[in-house]
Amino acid sequence: MASHDHDHPHDHDHDDHDHHHDPHAPQKDHDSGPADPHEVLEQALRELLIEKGVLTAGEINAQVDFMDTRSPALGANVVARAWTDARFKQRLLADTRVALAEMDIDIGSLADFRTVENTPETHNVVVCTLCSCYPKLLLGIPPAWYKSTAYRGRVVVDPRGVLDEFGVKVPDGVDVRVHDSTADLRYIVLPMRPPGTDGWSEKKLASIVTRDTMIGTAIPKVTEKTAARAARGKSAS
């Protein structure tokens, strides 16, 4: 396990964190109030790059627009492919960037990407303890709770408790691993394929993969509605 990952036994007791913060509660608007030092630095650097002719304002805006068009659907398609293609799954776990390139998914070159697989023995969850590093080029804009101090502070010391608040009850025999994203390394969770999905197409499988399942704060579920749709799809084919 990488040095910036955190493998926490579930019986730790910590008194220096507020465990009563609800990660689902409405969070402060990150655009309100005075700019923080990172925002000031970003603005100054952006203006300097434009002034020196390294980039144009149009190029910067185009890249921002490109990132804003990304959504969890991209990641869901990747998970569905891994569920149906064992060789692709091996390549995804070995070298995420190369595997994504096979699907014509560009994740840029500023940060490395790593895929961590949930198994019957291990459940993975992703956080950025320092700020809000997140695989935007694969999952789109992060949810507000991911950037909250409640989630960032608590999930590394009480992952089972936080997951329980999200509705994910990890059995005692399952190891919980917390992966700390950084500016240089981003993570995506490959959730376990749920039972009852045999014969489903990649499109149907992707429909049950949500953003939260790829962060590790949810697990894919087959509802009666999705099962019925899949059955209709198979009968039509």
Nearest in space to 126 (alpha carbons), one of 109, 111, 145: 145
Q: Which of 132, 207, 235, 237 is catalytic?
A: 132
Instruction: Round to whole Å and give the CA distance between 156 and 9.
Output: 10
Q: Which of 3, 32, 131, 148 is catalytic?
A: 131
Q: Which of 128, 148, 181, 207 is catalytic?
A: 128
Angle at 76 between CA 93 and CA 22, to 5 degrees: 100
What is the number of alpha carbons within 13 Å of residue 12 lying toward its C-beta?
Answer: 19
Instruction: Round to whole Å and give the CA distance between 189 and 187.
Output: 7
Instruction: Round to whole Å and give the CA distance between 94 and 121.
Output: 19
> How many Å separate Cα 228 from the centre of its chain?
28
> Active site includes 133?
yes
Which letter does DSSP use for residue 178 in this model?
E
Q: Which of 3, 133, 181, 201 is catalytic?
A: 133
- Can you name the residues that pair with 175 across neighbouring β-strands? 122
Q: What are phi and psi of 5, to 5 degrees?
A: -85, 160
> Active site includes 148?
no
> Active site includes 237?
no
Which uninterrupted H or E stretch holds 139?
A: helix 136-139
Instruction: Round to whole Å and give the CA distance between 100 and 93.
Output: 11
The answer to whether residues 156 and 162 touch, using CB atoms and an 8 Å cutoff, is no
Active centre residues (catalytic): 128, 131-133
